[in-house]
C-alpha cells in the first residue's frame, strides 16, 4: 500500500518535472530571448556559441566570436544574413517583422556582450 502511494507520488513528480521543462521557454520574459529560442537556438545554441549537436565544429555557427564568414558584425549585414539565410546551411527568416528582427539582433548583441 505504502509502496503504491510512493510510486504514485514519484510518477506525479516526474510528470510535473516533464511539464515544467516543456514550459520552460514560456517563462522566459525577454521577448528577444523568446524569439531566439524559437528561431535560432536549435542551431546556434542558447548562448549563440554554436555548440549544438548539429553544428558543433562549424566555426561560423558560433556567433559569439569575431570570426565571420558572411556577416560583418554590423547590424545591416547581420540582418541581411538572417533575412536571406545561408544557402544549404540556414533557412531564410524573411517573415520576421521589423520589431522581431530588432529584438533578435538586440538579444544577439547582449549574448555577445555588446551594449546596444
Report the interface residues with ligand HEC, using CB under 6 A: 39-40, 42-44, 55, 58, 60-61, 63, 68-71, 78, 81-82, 86, 89-91, 93, 104, 108
CB of 98 to ligand HEC, least distance (A): 14
Conformation bin of residue 85: beta by default, left when phi > 0, alpha when psi is -120 to 50: left
Quote the cell numbers at residue 85: 539565410
Distance between CA atoms of residues 98 and 75, nearest Å = 13
> Of 12 and 83, which CB lies nearer to ligand HEC in the complex structure?
83
90 and 42 in contact (C-beta within 8 Å)?
A: no
> Of 12 and 42, which CB lies nearer to ligand HEC in the complex structure?
42
CB of 55 to ligand HEC, least distance (A): 5
Amino acid at each position: 500500500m505504502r509502496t503504491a502511494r510512493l510510486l504514485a507520488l514519484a510518477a506525479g513528480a516526474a510528470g510535473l518535472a516533464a511539464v515544467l521543462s516543456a514550459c520552460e521557454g514560456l517563462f522566459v520574459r525577454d521577448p528577444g530571448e523568446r524569439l531566439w529560442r524559437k528561431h535560432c537556438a536549435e542551431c546556434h545554441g542558447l548562448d549563440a556559441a554554436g555548440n549544438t549537436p548539429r553544428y558543433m565544429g562549424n566555426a561560423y555557427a558560433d556567433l559569439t566570436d569575431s570570426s565571420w564568414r558572411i556577416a560583418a558584425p554590423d547590424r545591416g549585414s547581420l540582418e541581411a544574413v538572417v533575412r536571406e539565410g545561408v544557402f544549404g546551411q540556414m533557412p531564410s527568416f524573411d517573415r520576421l517583422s521589423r520589431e522581431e528582427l530588432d529584438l533578435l539582433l538586440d538579444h544577439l548583441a547582449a549574448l555577445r556582450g555588446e551594449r546596444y
